[in-house]
């Protein structure tokens, strides 16, 4: 991390500045219902290069010709959606910040998804940190020499494509009341698309429409933010709208199947210095004798649900569907961010855009600070200097 920038930030920090920052962050948007951390992360050039290298190694696997064959069992049969395209439009890789064998800060892969993240909000978050705390202008959340302007041009190219903005909608099950609603509206404000709940979309024949006033508009593309896990126990909402698993005349950005293909399911196919040992549970010939060094994760869950941190042999034996679980060597986070009361653990999410007819491009990042047993809101409810944040780097063309 960048020690000098951290020292200056902490010396000038106050709770009053933080409250002003939060007020400005909310201004003009739905109220933020998740915790935003007091501070950004200051990413050194060395860590930045390691993150880029780690991401490139994962991209190489995803671009293999046999990747769809490798991941064909990742998609639950009951959630397979027709008309899958050749590649995802979004890639996000989560890395915990750890110490390597040389006692240097290094990223270790925790999770990965072929699904959108907070692509709109993170830009707004970085701007607000910089403005309200008076941070240096050359600090940026962007990679590859992108600026805020060129970043949103690329985001619009990916999401809207050749269509008109009013023909493209951001969809979630209850979009306006989601915890991430601020991201939906930050995105919509920049690229002009509609934000719709699933039940605001109606099907006629194989076409989809939304109505505004007395005007009905056909939807050509859906910027999909709906995770099937959220409605898996009650799909009756489809009755008042449409079932995504049916044939419809719409393009998906990104197609729902990629949520499953690029996920924990992908991790056993990866290896390297930035990836912890990960195996499908049903392929393990013998239970490791040092289970205290492993974590057990269900393949088909999100937001840390179902993860068993302190694994026992009994936990493994009692699992009825081992093909749907992975056993992963634990990653030891290093408290790399210095808060006023001590070190804080950190995780950085690399966020890529993959336009049609082009290569995937690392664009922006999301970060999270944690003092709890795991990264995530439920494990950090009683702490400060934790929550969502962003990594800031000195501007460069890389």
Over 132-186, what HEC string results? HHCCCCCEECCCCCCCHHHHHHHHHHHHCCCCCHHHEEEEECCHHHCCCHHHHHH
- The whole-model pTM stands at 0.94
What pLDDT was estimated at residue 379? 64
- The SS3 call for residue 239 is helix
* pLDDT tens digit at each of 398 positions of the chain: 677 899 999 999 999 999 999 999 999 998 899 999 999 999 999 999 999 999 999 999 999 999 999 999 999 999 999 999 999 999 999 999 999 888 999 999 999 999 999 999 999 999 999 999 999 999 999 999 999 999 999 999 999 999 999 999 999 999 999 999 999 999 999 999 999 999 999 999 999 999 999 999 999 999 999 998 888 888 898 999 999 999 999 999 999 999 999 999 999 999 999 999 999 999 999 999 999 999 999 887 665 578 898 999 999 999 999 999 999 999 999 999 999 999 999 999 999 999 999 999 999 999 999 997 667 666 676 789 999 999 999 987 66
Q: Are residues 181 and 269 in the same domain?
A: no
Q: Domain of 173: which CATH number?
A: 3.40.50.11290
Q: Are residues 268 and 131 in the same domain?
A: yes
Q: Are residues 131 and 231 in the same domain?
A: no
Q: Are residues 131 and 51 in the same domain?
A: yes
What pLDDT was estimated at residue 366? 98
What pLDDT was estimated at residue 27? 93
What pLDDT was estimated at residue 374? 63
What pLDDT was estimated at residue 234? 85
Q: CA dist 150 to 43, 64, 145, 322, 364, Å?
A: 22, 29, 9, 45, 12
Nearby residues of 88 by Cβ (< 8 Å), 6 or more positions away: 62, 114, 115, 254, 255, 258, 261, 262, 354
Q: Are residues 209 and 267 in the same domain?
A: no
DSSP label at residue 247? -
What pLDDT was estimated at residue 395? 86
Question: Measuring CA to CA, which residue among 391, 266, 263 is closest to residue 6?
Answer: 391
Nearby residues of 192 by Cβ (< 8 Å), 6 or more positions away: 156, 160, 165, 166
Q: Which domain holds residue 217?
A: 160-253
Tokens encoding 240: 């008042």
- For the chain, the farthest-separated pair of C-alpha atoms sits apart, in whole angstroms, at 67
Residue 281 in domain: no
What pLDDT was estimated at residue 230? 82
Q: Are residues 91 and 133 in the same domain?
A: yes
What pLDDT was estimated at residue 274? 96
Q: Are residues 181 and 91 in the same domain?
A: no
- The SS3 call for residue 100 is coil
Q: Are residues 98 and 239 in the same domain?
A: no
What pLDDT was estimated at residue 3? 77
Q: Are residues 268 and 173 in the same domain?
A: no
Residue 184 in domain: yes
* Number of domains into which the chain is organized: 2
Domain boundary residue, one of 238, 253, 268: 253
């Amino acid at each position: 991390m960048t020690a000098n920038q951290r020292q200056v930030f902490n010396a000038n920090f106050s709770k009053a500045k933080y409250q002003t920052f939060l007020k400005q962050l909310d201004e003009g948007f739905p109220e933020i219902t998740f915790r935003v951390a007091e501070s950004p992360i200051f990413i050194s050039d060395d860590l930045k290069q390691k993150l880029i290298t780690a991401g490139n190694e994962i991209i190489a696997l995803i671009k293999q010709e046999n990747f769809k064959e490798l991941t064909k069992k990742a998609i639950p049969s009951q959630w397979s959606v027709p008309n899958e395209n050749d590649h995802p439009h979004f890639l996000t890789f989560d890395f915990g910040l750890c110490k390597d064998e040389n006692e240097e800060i290094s990223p270790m892969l925790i999770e990965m998804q072929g699904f959108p993240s907070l692509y709109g909000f993170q830009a707004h978050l970085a701007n607000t940190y910089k403005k309200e705390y008076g941070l240096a202008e050359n600090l940026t959340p962007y990679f590859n020499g992108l600026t805020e302007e060129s970043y949103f041009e690329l985001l619009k190219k990916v999401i809207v494509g050749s269509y008109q903005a009013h023909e493209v909608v951001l969809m979630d099950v209850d979009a306006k009341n989601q915890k991430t609603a601020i991201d939906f509206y930050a995105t919509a404000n920049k690229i002009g698309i509609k934000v719709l709940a699933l039940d605001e979309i109606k099907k006629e024949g194989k076409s989809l429409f939304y109505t505004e006033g007395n005007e009905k508009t056909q939807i050509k593309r859906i910027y999909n933010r709906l995770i099937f896990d959220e409605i898996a126990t009650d799909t009756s909402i489809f009755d008042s709208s449409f079932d995504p698993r049916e044939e419809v005349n719409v393009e998906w950005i990104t197609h729902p199947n990629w949520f499953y293909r690029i996920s924990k399911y992908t991790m056993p196919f990866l290896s390297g210095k930035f990836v912890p040992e990960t195996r499908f549970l049903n392929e393990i010939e013998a239970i490791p004798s040092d289970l205290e060094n492993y974590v057990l994760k269900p393949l088909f869950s999100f937001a840390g649900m179902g993860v068993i941190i302190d694994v026992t042999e009994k936990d493994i034996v009692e699992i009825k569907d081992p093909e749907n679980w992975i056993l992963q060597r634990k990653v030891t986070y290093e408290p790399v961010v210095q808060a006023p009361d001590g070190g804080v653990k950190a995780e950085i999410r690399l966020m890529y855009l993959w336009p049609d007819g082009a290569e995937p491009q690392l664009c922006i990042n999301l970060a999270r600070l944690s003092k709890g047993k795991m990264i995530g809101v439920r494990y950090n409810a009683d702490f400060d200097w934790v929550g969502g944040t962003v990594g800031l780097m000195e501007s460069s063309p890389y």
